[in-house]
Every structure is written in C-alpha cells, then in structure tokens.
Amino acid sequence: MHNKSITELAADLRAGDYSSVELTQYFLDRIQRMDAGLNSFVTVCSDEALSAAQAADRQLQAGQGGLLTGIPIAHKDIFCTKGIRTTCGSKMLENFISPYDATVVTRLKAAGVVNLGKTNMDEFAMGSSNETSYYGPVRNPWDTETVPGGSSGGSAACVAARLAPAATGTDTGGSIRQPAALCGITGLKPTYGRVSRYGMIAFASSLDQAGPMTTSAADAAILLQAMAGFDERDSTSADQPVPDYSAGLEDDLTGLKIGLPKEYFGEGLDDAVAKSVEEAIAEYRKLGAEVIEISLPNTHLAVPTYYVVAPAECSSNLSRFDGVRYGHRCEDPKDLEDLYKRSRAEGFGDEVKRRILIGTYALSAGYYDAYYLKAQKIRHLISDDFTQAFKQVDVIMGPTAPDTGFRIGERAGDPVSMYLSDIYTIAVNLAGLPGISIPAAPANGKPAGLQIIGNYFAEAKLLNVAHRLQMATDYHKAAPANLGQ
C-alpha cells in the first residue's frame, strides 16, 4: 500500500479493499518500525489518527467525502494543531500545546485527511539540512549518512521513505523544494498568499509559504486543492479564485516556452546534477516544448539579499518568545531582564541566535538604510528580472539545488556554505512566485531535482508541466532501498 498514490488509495478505500483504519494502522506500523533510523517525526499521533480514520470510514460507508477522505498524511511541526504538541523543532516550544488549528490543518481536516503526526524540522525553519533541530538531525532515507535537506526535511524524508503518502511543508527560501530534491520527491511552493499562513509559526512573514510534499505532481494537485484559498484571518492571503488543479494535468505541452537562465548553469553546479537536469530538459523537447536561454542578471544578489531580509523579519517575529506568556522559561529568574536573557539563551539554538543577531543588527537605527532598506530595493530588482523573463517564456527551469545530499555534519561549521544550498530557490521567495521541484534522473546514484518556476498564481501550469514529465519518465517512481513490504 505504501507505494500507491493518493488517487489509488482513495479508489481502494471507496471500493472497500481496506478501511481508513486499516490504512492508517499500516502507516503507523511503518513509522514505528522504520522511523528510528530516520528521525523524521517529532510526534506520532496514533490515537488521534485512528479516531479520525474511524470518522472517515463512517463517511465513506455513507457514500460521502472526497478524494482525501481517510488518507493519512503528516504535518510539518510548524503548523499549530489543537491539542497536539507543536514544537517548531525547538527547545523553546518543547511543551507547547496549541489551543487551535492552523488554517492549513483545518482545511485538510475538513477534506477528510488523517493526521499521522508532526514531522521534524530545522529549528524555527532556519536551516538547509535539518541539522538544527533540537530533536536531532533527520536522515535521508536514500543514504542515512546524508542530510535530507531543510527546513522541511522531516516531511521530505517521511514521504520518500513511504511513511506517509504526503506531508505538508513550508518554504521561506527553498525549504520545500530543496529537501524534495535531495529526497527524490515532489515539492510545491505556491505563490505567496495562495495558502494561508494563519497558525503557521512565523519565521520571515514576507517570505513564508505553505505547500504540499508528495511523490507526484498529481498528488500535489490534490493536496493543494484542499489547502489553497483566501483566509480573512491572514492579512497577506490572496483573494484569488482557486482553479481545479487536477483538471489540466494532462494538457499538451506543444509550444510551451521554457526559459533556461544562464546564471543557473555556471560555477558551483555539480556536473552530475547539471547532466540530470539537461536530460529532463531533453524530455521536454520531445514533448514539443521550445527551450530559450534567458538571463536573470541579479541572481547573484539573491543569497545576500535573503540573508538580510529573512533574519530581520525573524528578529522581529521571534521577539515574542520571551519566557513570559508561553514557551521555555528559565528557572528562578532574578528579575525581568534575567528572565528574558536566560529564557532565550536556553530556548534557542545556535543558528536561530545567529539569525536573530544578524537581523537585529540590520534593523538597528545606524544600519537600517545601509542593509535592510538596500536589501528591499534589490529584492525589487530580482522580482523585475522574473517579470521580464515571463514576457518571453511560460516557465523557467533549472536545478533545484547545486548538489545532492551532503554528509551529516559536513557543513555544520560553515554557515555560508550551508546558505548556498538554497542559491537557486531563494529568488523565487523574494519575488513571491510559485515553484516546484520534481525528481530528475539520479546524479551519482542520489536524487536530484528539477525546479520549475511559474508566473504568479500559475500553479496549475506548473503542475501540468511537472505531471507531463512524470507521465513520460519513471524518475518520480524511484524509491530508497530497504523500504520493506
């Protein structure tokens, strides 16, 4: 059952081949049996999952429900879940029980999904390898000595290992797409505002966006359908109609114009990853697409711009974790200042502290104009590059990450090297565009990702383009060895 798509599982449930309770128990058993070697879950919700599965079965027996009714999934531990621990991968929220559900959780629950549990992640979504989690690193199921990518590494690893048919993730600078690439799955970052951020613990509010992580584009379309839509509780939510994402999946690609940015194929890109991406591009040519070289001239400024904007917003957002209202509180504080200092020093990890300090510095009175204001101006230039490109092409393609999964600990002492893992994904967040990573041919025996970038609210087109490659190739069907039966 673990190799079946959401559509196949839904058909089996409706045919009565097995119940949602049996399906849920099957995946809970896989998690119990296999996750000790991966560490992809922080919390497993066995009782809650089986109770939700029983409710789903009652719906299905009454001939009600939709495609997702009774389908088990996992949630990244950044989404608030009522009555269930939400830690954000941090000691700061180790014992936090949310009193409400995030909108993403509410909508998927309304669609009938069963929540298996909460997946491990880089602390407060800050990281590209899932090594900054208070709960320890997640291991890539393809090679447990390597990282799964981050910050949604737990979601990526659990889907790749078939511990869940799908999972939710969040993407601030590539945190859905980069781990999807390193784990050989499909990960979609929607247009900023397409999916509500309400109840999603904030890292960088102008960049964060939730999205689906699945084995295929067809499954991503189903999950996004339930997640997307306007939410009046989120002031950044886009009041745009939500199309039927599955309707155009098989549309013909003849005449599709694909832009290849020359800046994405230069120094720093692993040769094997480049070859893998080129093979995928060749498949699109066979499908009738036209390939055009384009330029995104400000690409080289994306990483430094991001690492001013994102830490500045993180500095502001994380100021609420002060040991007063919720979260970790130090023991026996002498006074209010001691409470703040020790609670934050004890509750946050090194990478979070590093970004808070950088952000606070960039926002300080003497440096605001020199750093934060300038970064916002460059952000507009980066966005303009994409605007010009989409006057010539329908989608933009390139590698998702410059290399494949690196060894755990290999870059832990070199933050700059770690930051460059997101060099191809960050600009998409700065511009607020949608992007998807899908598996390309393996590179050096490891998963490699093809990134497809679309214009604003063009998720349906991205899913169509991704799905057509997955119809023509078997890249996305590859799975790690030793997954069991």
pLDDT digit string (tens) for 209-231?
999 999 999 999 999 999 999 99
Domain-located, residue 323: yes
Q: Which of 19, 90, 151, 216 is catalytic?
A: 151
Q: Which of 20, 98, 152, 175 is catalytic?
A: 175
CB-based burial label for 48 (10 Å; 0-12, 13-18, 19+): middle
Residue 353 is among the residues annotated as catalytic for this protein:
no
- Rounded to 5 degrees, φ, ψ at 97 are -110, 115
Domain-located, residue 435: no
Residue 175 and residue 133 in contact, taking contact as beta carbons nearer than 8 Å:
no
Q: Which of 20, 40, 76, 98 is catalytic?
A: 76
Residue 128 is among the residues annotated as catalytic for this protein:
no
Domain-located, residue 71: no
- The confidence score (pLDDT) of residue 419 equals 83
DSSP E strand boundaries for 270-409 = 290-294, 395-399
Residue 123 and residue 133 in contact, taking contact as beta carbons nearer than 8 Å:
yes
Residue 76 is among the residues annotated as catalytic for this protein:
yes
What share of the chain has pLDDT > 90, as a percent? 95
Consecutive H or E run containing 416? helix 415-419
- The confidence score (pLDDT) of residue 485 equals 55
The DSSP call for residue 446 is B
What share of the chain has pLDDT > 70, as a percent? 100
CA-based nearest residue to 164, from 365, 353, 3: 3
Domain-located, residue 317: yes
Domain-located, residue 341: yes
The DSSP call for residue 244 is -
Tokens of 151: 């910050």
Can you tell me the distance from the alpha carbon of 213 to that of 155, in angstroms, rounded to the nearest whole number? Answer: 7
pLDDT digit string (tens) for 248-257?
999 999 999 9
β-strands 395-399, 449-453: how paired? antiparallel
Domain-located, residue 326: yes
Can you tell me the distance from the alpha carbon of 382 to that of 398, in angstroms, rounded to the nearest whole number? Answer: 17
Residue 147 and residue 406 in contact, taking contact as beta carbons nearer than 8 Å:
yes
Domains identified in the chain, total number? 1
Domain-located, residue 188: no
**Sorting pLDDT into bands at 50, 70 and 90, what band is 484?**
low
pLDDT digit string (tens) for 316-357?
999 999 999 999 999 999 999 999 999 999 999 999 999 999
Tokens of 370: 């020199």
CB-based burial label for 252 (10 Å; 0-12, 13-18, 19+): exposed
pLDDT digit string (tens) for 132-162?
999 999 999 999 999 999 999 999 999 999 9
**Amino acid type, 254:** T
Which structural domain, as residue segments, surrounds residue 358? Answer: 300-378
